[in-house]
Amino acid sequence: EKMDSEDIIQHLNDAMLPDEGKIPTYIMGSPSIHQLEKEKIFTKTWLFLGHESELPNNGDFITRDLAGYSIILNKDKNGTIRAFYNMCTHRGMKLCRADKGNKTHFTCPYHGFTFDNTGELKGVPLQKDIYGDALDKSTMALHEATIDSYQGCIFGTWNPEPEPLSDYLGDFKWYWDLLFGRAEMEAAGPPQRYVINADWKIGSDNFVGDSYHTMVTHGSIVKLGMVPSSKYSKKGYQLHTPHGHGCNIGMPNPDFAFEEHLVPEFKRNLSDEQFDVLSNIKNINGTLFPNLSFLISHTEIKGKLISNTSVRLWNPIGHDKMEVITWFFVEKEASADWKERSRESFILTFSPSGIFEQDDTEVFTDITNVGRGLVPQQKALHYTLKMGMNRTPTTNFPGPGTVYDDKFTEANQRNFYKYWLELMNS
Ligand code: FES
Ligand code: FE
């Protein structure tokens, strides 16, 4: 499969008709598409890096990936969070090899240049002897990526002129608030990470709109009696906003699945409409374009319905491979017992060993596997669910976006791939 960028774009524009639900099979697991996505999507949009609660103290740092480039996300001595390109400005050595820690200074393992945690070059071994007065350290600070945050979530971009994060999130902020704005949230420990042989888009696509698969893919869980079959109902809403974002909200739910004593905090932070939706959800799952999926899911633990909140990055690390990075979040003011049960609820369902995650990732891997190569180039995938049924969006829902009043449609995937194609053309 050797095509130059223009051929690929031409082919995509001919073969890909998101509004008609037609997506060419070969875009999953293709080396040429992967190269182009890196250039057109991943170095252009805002990407999730982590959460402010992961950096509680000045000097704390975590290393993360931004579009395939290593980043040191660091809270400097003044409390400012910065994203350094993890590359020594002398001769390009990877400056920091730890996943996390606390440092006032970073010393390069190659020649020992030392940078403070604001990125300034402070020390050069034998500087006077070998450079004399010729080295201007002030021009050799660490390079930085642009970052911004919303509700404690830190996003970064390599785009030198990015659209403001607030505009990029747009109306989707209303839904993001349900996860991260309802209370002060904290990441409960470092994220879990694992690699699967699957195209990142399948994860994003599954979370953004695929409520339909649950009855079948996750059917064995019902047969085992671990969840009631009503869990997979189409009742609820599916909605999307510009920029490819979208989510599914399972409703209604008679049982309140959050800790009661947090209700005043929720009510302070959310609008009445947002609180009302949050109180009545069975689950929410969705994707913030391009590759950050999120979930509030309820599971019965020790006889009580307990919510758990998580996000996962489908981070491409090759044309047919991704690292899945999953964070579990909990309200900071929740009781220790509730935090523990919520964590248990997450581990059981959507952690790497969770019953749902196992089912899903097997599907993602197999789609990638059969879609590769020359044969599937002429084939198309079908995203036409609920098209041709003259369905119009509902106005009977308090949140913004294009909202449908049931979850079994593929409107969100069509919206996701439409924006994907727009960026690939940019
Ligand atoms: Fe870092 Fe030389 S490459 S000190
Ligand atoms: Fe699933």
Domain ranges of the chain: 47-157, 171-425
| Ligand 1 atom at minimum distance from 88 CA | 1
As a whole number of angstroms, the distance between CA 158 and CA 237 comes to 34
Comparing CA positions, the residue from 185, 213, 394, 393 lying closest to residue 296 is 185
What does the pLDDT average to over 191-220?
A: 96
> Ligand 1 centroid to 68 CA: how many Å?
21
> Ligand 2 centroid to 357 CA: how many Å?
7
Omega into 162 within 30° of 0, i.e. cis?
no
In this structure, what token pair is assigned to residue 239? 């909605």
Q: What is the architecture of the domain spanning 171-425?
A: Alpha-Beta Complex (3.90)
pLDDT at res. 200:
98
- pLDDT cut 90: percent of the chain above it: 85
Residue nearest to atom 4 of ligand 1 (CA): 111
What does the pLDDT average to over 395-423?
A: 96
| Range in 274-288, 293-307, 375-389, 409-423 the model is least confident about | 375-389
As a whole number of angstroms, the distance between CA 46 and CA 172 comes to 14
- pLDDT cut 70: percent of the chain above it: 99
What does the pLDDT average to over 13-39?
A: 94
| Ligand 1 atom at minimum distance from 95 CA | 1
| Ligand 1 atom at minimum distance from 124 CA | 4
Domain 47-157 falls under CATH 2.102.10.10:
yes
Does the pLDDT value for residue 390 go beyond 90?
no
* 163-191 exposure pattern, b = at least 16 Cβ within 10 A, e = fewer: eebeebbebbbbbbbbbbbbbebbbbeeb
| Ligand 1 atom at minimum distance from 91 CA | 3
Residue nearest to atom 2 of ligand 1 (CA): 111
Does the pLDDT value for residue 378 go beyond 80?
no
pLDDT at res. 256:
92
pLDDT band at 168 (very low <50, low <70, confident <90, very high): very high
> Ligand 1 centroid to 55 CA: how many Å?
26
Does the pLDDT value for residue 1 go beyond 60?
no
As a whole number of angstroms, the distance between CA 342 and CA 293 comes to 19
pLDDT at res. 419:
98
Query: One fold for both 47-157 and 171-425?
Result: no
What does the pLDDT average to over 19-25?
A: 93
Ligand nearest to the CA of 203: 2
| Range in 222-231, 242-251, 311-320 the model is least confident about | 222-231
Comparing CA positions, the residue from 73, 64, 1 lying closest to residue 33 is 1
pLDDT at res. 383:
94
Higher pLDDT, 215 or 62: 62
pLDDT at res. 2:
55
ipTM over 0.85: yes
How does pLDDT run across 94-119, given as a tens digit for each residue? 999 999 999 999 999 999 999 999 99
pLDDT at res. 272:
98
How does pLDDT run across 130-155, given as a tens digit for each residue? 999 999 999 999 999 999 999 999 99
Does the pLDDT value for residue 279 go beyond 60?
yes
Q: How is 275-334 classified by DSSP, letter by letter?
A: HHHHHH-SEEEEEETTTEEEEEEEEEETTEEEEEEEEEEEEEEETTEEEEEEEEEEETTS
Does the pLDDT value for residue 3 go beyond 70?
no
Pocket test for ligand 1, best of 84, 89, 93 (most atoms within 8 A of CB): 93
Pocket test for ligand 1, best of 86, 96, 113, 142 (most atoms within 8 A of CB): 113
The residues lining ligand 1, judged by C-beta closer than 6 Å to any ligand atom, are 88, 90-91, 93, 108, 110-113
Does the pLDDT value for residue 47 go beyond 70?
yes
Enumerate the β-bridge partners of residue 150: 153
Rg over alpha carbons for the chain, rounded to the nearest Å, is 23
User: What is the layout of strands, in order, in the sheet containing 153-157?
Assistant: 47-51, 153-157, 144-150, 81-85, 69-75, 60-66, 100-102
Q: Where does residue 122 rank: exposed (0-12), middle (13-18), buried (19+ CB within 10 A)? A: middle
Rounded mean pLDDT of the chain? 94
Pocket test for ligand 1, best of 72, 87, 91 (most atoms within 8 A of CB): 91
